[in-house]
Amino acid sequence: MEHKEYKVILPPEEIPKEWYNILPDLPEPLPPPINGSTGEPINPAALERIFAKECIRQEVSSDRYIKIPEEVIRAYLMLGRPTPLHRARRFEEYLKTPAEIYFKREDVSPVGSHKPNTAIAQAYYLSKEGIRKVTTETGAGQWGSALCLAGALFSLEIIVFMTRSSYIQKPYRKTLMELFGGKVYPSPSEVTKAGKSFLANDPQHPGSLGIAISEALEVALGSENAKYSLGSVLNHVLLHQSIVGLEAKKQMEILGKKPDVVIGCIGGGSNFSGLAYPLIYEEKIRKYGMRFVAVEPKAVPSTTRGEYAYDYGDSSGMTPMLKMYTVGNKFQIPPIHAAGLRYHGKAPSLSLLIKNGVVNSKAYHQVECLNAGKLFAMCEGIVPAPETAHAIKAVVDEALEAKRQGSKKVILFNLSGHGLLDLKAYEDLFNNSLTNYEPSEEVIARSLSSIRMV
């Protein structure tokens, strides 16, 4: 057996020089963001007060490939790109499956996830524009630490609103953000009007990404020379993440393999899309019969029980409305450990692909996911993030299905991050103190009815 059947690395000169943009290749035009009070499409220029100008240009670009700036490529190389592609041989053997399981190692970045792929690009464009201060939200702290790292590299002051449940459960991610020079507030916080209003209703509010976004926007809009940065959902973020799939495509080609099924977990949708979109394009042209599976938590069932509708990106209605799968922006999201999956909506482009049946989605409970994560750690030595454990649970189901069918299918998944700063999740698993949250029909219906009124 050849060694490359365990691991494929790309040399630095093979790093992709362009990102892939799926917008020109979607099955139908993407509905534009609209203004919530007028219902009119937003003029993209209006978003330049909030986001880097270049990111807004990318947000609406119809170019299939967009050049990666040389400074961004250098930072990618410095932070461990191209990342390896591994085969999970011991995991396959444990599952006694004829399937081959490959995974893209986005856990090897210095902060332990795929998030620097866009943090670096956004920080670069913001600093080139003369911006000094950048605000953002974070759940598990993965995005916050990626942006603080990028801020340290491109001399930006970073202010992070971290969902309170994570601020309490994951204190080391806060330390990591501070280590890179960032300032971190628990959200809802006392420093914004939005935060105070949520605390007034519930002083112990666990927070959500939607609330933290409202707070970060409020601070960015109220400060000089400041802008905001989003770690998922928007087209330009998914564009930057395409580096993952472009590398993986080259690596699978080196192996002479084509994936039959591509799997990733979805919070806002960026790591899944980063891996899958370049392969969805391949599938569109060549029609291999590849399948694409996006995995969400049952606690936040946006694509499996939500609605494809216009909704706000945040919890207070400060953002434009996006056409996406959502459980409603006021949905109170249970404090599951996969904090990066605690978001009410999903990326508009991914939502469109799910609606059109190009991507299938499924949902799992956190206990079954963390058990799959433990199994993966025991077989492969890598502790997956609780978010990633959702993808792994779907991989297990695909591999067992392949066993039943005697099929040698090739599974590729995104190992979006490691869980070494999320050990509390596994500790709670061992103590049997985890809840399998699943909102009732009534809770979801109530939450969705509030978005139908706008």
Residue ranges that bind ligand PLP, judged by CB under 6 A: 113, 115, 140, 142-143, 232, 265-272, 340-341, 385, 387-388, 416-417
Closest to ligand PLP by CB, 121 vs 199, is 121
DSSP lists the bridge partners of residue 325 as 308
Strand 321-326 relative to strand 307-312: parallel, antiparallel, unpaired?
antiparallel
Closest to ligand PLP by CB, 113 vs 189, is 113
Strand 291-297 relative to strand 360-364: parallel, antiparallel, unpaired?
parallel
Are 190 and 218 spatial neighbours (Cβ–Cβ below 8 Å)? Answer: no
Please state the length of the chain: 454
Residue closest to ligand PLP, measured at CB: 417
What's the closest the beta carbon of residue 231 comes to ligand PLP, in angstroms? Answer: 7
What's the closest the beta carbon of residue 277 comes to ligand PLP, in angstroms? Answer: 12
Return the closest-CA partner of residue 339 out of 274, 417, 414, 262.
417
Closest to ligand PLP by CB, 226 vs 272, is 272
What's the closest the beta carbon of residue 167 comes to ligand PLP, in angstroms? Answer: 16
Closest to ligand PLP by CB, 151 vs 340, is 340
Q: Which two tokens stand for residue 2?
A: 């050849």
Closest to ligand PLP by CB, 270 vs 447, is 270
Closest to ligand PLP by CB, 97 vs 232, is 232
Return the closest-CA partner of residue 209 out of 157, 169, 268.
268
Are 150 and 116 spatial neighbours (Cβ–Cβ below 8 Å)? Answer: yes
Closest to ligand PLP by CB, 207 vs 269, is 269
What's the closest the beta carbon of residue 37 comes to ligand PLP, in angstroms? Answer: 28
Q: How far is residue 276's CA from residue 25's CA, in Å, rounded to a whole number?
A: 13
What's the closest the beta carbon of residue 354 comes to ligand PLP, in angstroms? Answer: 13
Closest to ligand PLP by CB, 144 vs 328, is 144
What's the closest the beta carbon of residue 46 comes to ligand PLP, in angstroms? Answer: 24
What's the closest the beta carbon of residue 333 comes to ligand PLP, in angstroms? Answer: 13
What's the closest the beta carbon of residue 296 comes to ligand PLP, in angstroms? Answer: 9
